[in-house]
């Protein structure tokens, strides 16, 4: 694990050199300039003039990108590409060579401009990681670390061993590799991700804010539009001197953003818990249920974001009801209902089914809460105590813990209350069906009782 003592701020000279190199490749600071954050001293981009929505502040042509196309021109890239390595891995190996090796490529100014400490939990110390005990971030991180270590071991015995002159063991070490992986993950943003992954120098200095004022856009450029440029575009009016920012992951909660980008917007947090629901293979009606899910664009496993202030969404409730279909409710899985059954799941199916949904979620949430190293109340007290430094990793970990716990507590309370006080008042499938047939009125009374009373029937 990389030590926390590593510098979190890149050398100003190195940043200036990277800027000069990018400009030599055609990059432009159209309405932006380089500055230093007053609190962290990190290099940031600020508006150099008043900017209107839609105007471009920074332009970075693909000639200045750290991309698969450009990396393939280097000794490291040629071998990595020939070995069929994934694009992100090719970029990571190039960053190792350019940052820590002596045989640097033309792309090296970018790698040299990055700080040793990138902020992501991939590089946190063991003591710092203890602050994440019980969190989904730590669980996911453990899986990441196992994968990255396995990947590095395979590279050592394969590509590195076959070409030691290009991949010297003293340079291509596990700490260096993890740093490069963290750099790729924390500096890549849509639409320059996935198979099209690329790192855009200068543009990577835009900060993370939930209410960001810019976005990253890729446009065609050059003769016949064969080239591309990454532009930082204003999403609202920006005043001169205002720091440029964007939401790195609008659809993701704070925990995943911290893990991938080493960033946290403490002023506007997006707390929550990612709940993955999986239809069990052992379910007696598994084939029918999977067919229903797939027919409606869903998969066997679906992940839903739980937040402290929002009730579970209709799709998640429908998935849960389908999971709990059994016994007397199983007739709904018959082929005759196949086109309509997902619609049936949007509302309560039966009291036993809804009770099973409530019990499963409430008990699951309470069990998850018990897995943390501290209670919700203890974390709230610590946050209010003023003992946690603003902008620190302890604060980031605390906010992630609190966000997960508050979401779990909220969902547990929601389903506990629903089970305790609402099940008898809900309208279930059979009653809804009778109402549609006109056999039950809105108060739940049968419309044919009078027939028997009057002797008509």
pLDDT per position as a tens digit, 369-391? 999 989 999 999 999 999 999 98
pLDDT of res. 88: 97
277 and 409 in a single domain? The answer is yes
- Could you give the CA distance from residue 34 to residue 203 in angstroms, rounded to a whole number? 11
- Could you give the CA distance from residue 95 to residue 92 in angstroms, rounded to a whole number? 5
Q: For residue 420, what is the domain's CATH number? A: 3.90.1420.10
pLDDT of res. 8: 62
Nearest CA-CA partner of 67 in 163, 177, 201, 176? 201
Structural domain boundaries enclosing 345: 273-436
pLDDT of res. 203: 95
64 and 94 in a single domain? The answer is yes
243 and 137 in a single domain? The answer is yes
pLDDT of res. 5: 39
257 and 406 in a single domain? The answer is no
pLDDT per position as a tens digit, 429-440? 988 887 676 655
268 occurs within a structural domain: no
pLDDT per position as a tens digit, 210-227? 999 999 999 998 766 679
305 and 418 in a single domain? The answer is yes
93 and 194 in a single domain? The answer is yes
Nearest CA-CA partner of 211 in 246, 177, 240, 243? 246
142 occurs within a structural domain: yes
pLDDT of res. 11: 80
257 and 278 in a single domain? The answer is no
**Measured over all CA atoms, what is the biggest interatomic distance in the chain, rounded to whole angstroms?**
101
455 occurs within a structural domain: no
Statement: the pTM of the whole predicted model exceeds 0.85: yes
- Could you give the CA distance from residue 97 to residue 89 in angstroms, rounded to a whole number? 13
Q: Which of 261, 295, 326 is the last residue of a domain?
A: 261
Distances 219 to 60, 61, 64, 198 between C-alpha atoms, Å = 10, 9, 15, 14
47 and 95 in a single domain? The answer is yes
Q: Which of 241, 261, 281 is the last residue of a domain?
A: 261
Residues of the chain short of pLDDT 70, as ranges, are 1-9, 38-39, 223-225, 435, 437-457
355 occurs within a structural domain: yes
Instruction: Tally helices (H) and strands (E) across the chain.
Output: 18, 12
Q: Which of 233, 261, 289 is the last residue of a domain?
A: 261
> Interhelix angle for 75-82 vs 87-100, to 10°?
150
pLDDT per position as a tens digit, 407-431? 999 999 999 999 999 999 999 998 8
358 and 283 in a single domain? The answer is yes
192 and 329 in a single domain? The answer is no
pLDDT per position as a tens digit, 225-248? 679 999 999 999 999 999 999 999
Domains identified in the chain, total number: 2
120 Cβ partners below 8 Å, 6+ apart? 182, 185, 186, 258, 259, 260, 261, 262
Helix (H) or strand (E) holding 385: helix 376-385
**Cis peptide bond prior to 191, omega within 30° of 0:** yes
227 and 319 in a single domain? The answer is no
74 and 146 in a single domain? The answer is yes
Q: For residue 77, what is the domain's CATH number? A: 3.90.1410.10
206 occurs within a structural domain: yes
2 occurs within a structural domain: no
pLDDT per position as a tens digit, 123-151? 999 999 999 999 999 999 999 999 999 99
Q: What whole-number percentage of the chain has pLDDT above 70? A: 92
């Amino acid at each position: 694990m990389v030590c926390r003592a590593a510098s979190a701020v890149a050398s100003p000279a190195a940043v200036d050199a990277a800027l000069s190199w990018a400009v030599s490749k055609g990059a432009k600071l159209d309405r932006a300039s380089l500055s230093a954050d007053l609190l962290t001293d990190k290099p940031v981009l600020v508006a150099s003039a008043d900017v209107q929505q839609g105007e471009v502040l920074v332009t970075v042509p693909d000639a200045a990108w750290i991309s698969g196309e450009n990396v393939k021109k280097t000794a490291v890239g040629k071998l990595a590409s020939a070995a069929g390595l994934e694009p992100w891995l090719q970029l990571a190996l190039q960053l190792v060579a350019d940052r820590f090796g002596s045989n640097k490529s033309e792309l090296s100014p970018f790698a040299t401009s990055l700080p040793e400490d990138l902020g992501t939990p991939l590089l946190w110390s063991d003591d710092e990681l203890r602050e994440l005990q019980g969190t989904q971030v730590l669980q996911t991180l453990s899986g990441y670390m196992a994968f990255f270590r396995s990947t590095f071991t395979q590279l050592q015995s394969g590509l590195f061993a076959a070409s030691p002159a290009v991949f010297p063991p003293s340079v291509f070490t596990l700490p260096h590799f993890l740093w490069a992986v963290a750099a790729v993950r924390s500096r890549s943003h849509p639409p320059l991700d996935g198979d099209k992954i690329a790192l855009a120098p200068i543009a990577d200095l835009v900060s993370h804010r939930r209410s960001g004022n810019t976005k990253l856009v890729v446009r065609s450029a050059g003769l016949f539009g064969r080239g591309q440029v990454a532009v930082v575009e204003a999403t609202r009016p920006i005043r001169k001197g205002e720091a440029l920012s964007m939401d790195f992951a609008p659809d993701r909660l704070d925990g995943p953003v911290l893990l991938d980008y080493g960033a946290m917007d403490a002023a506007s947090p997006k707390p929550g818990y990612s709940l993955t629901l999986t239809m069990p293979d052992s379910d007696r009606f598994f084939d029918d249920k999977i067919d229903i899910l797939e027919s409606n664009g869903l998969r066997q496993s679906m992940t839903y974001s739980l937040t402290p202030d929002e009730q579970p969404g209709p799709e998640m409730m429908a998935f849960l009801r389908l999971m709990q279909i059994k016994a007397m409710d199983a007739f709904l899985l018959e082929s005759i209902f196949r086109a309509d059954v997902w619609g049936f799941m949007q509302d309560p199916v039966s009291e036993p089914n809804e009770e099973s949904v409530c019990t499963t979620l409430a008990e699951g949430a309470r069990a998850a809460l018990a897995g943390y190293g501290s209670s919700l109340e203890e974390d709230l007290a610590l946050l209010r105590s003023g003992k946690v430094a603003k902008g620190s990793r302890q604060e980031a970990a605390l906010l992630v813990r609190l966000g997960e716990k508050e979401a779990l507590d909220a969902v547990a309370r929601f389903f506990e209350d629903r089970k305790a006080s609402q099940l008898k008042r809900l309208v279930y499938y059979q009653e809804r069906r009778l109402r549609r047939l006109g056999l039950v009125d809105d108060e739940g009374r049968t419309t044919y009782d009078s027939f028997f009373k009057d002797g008509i029937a």
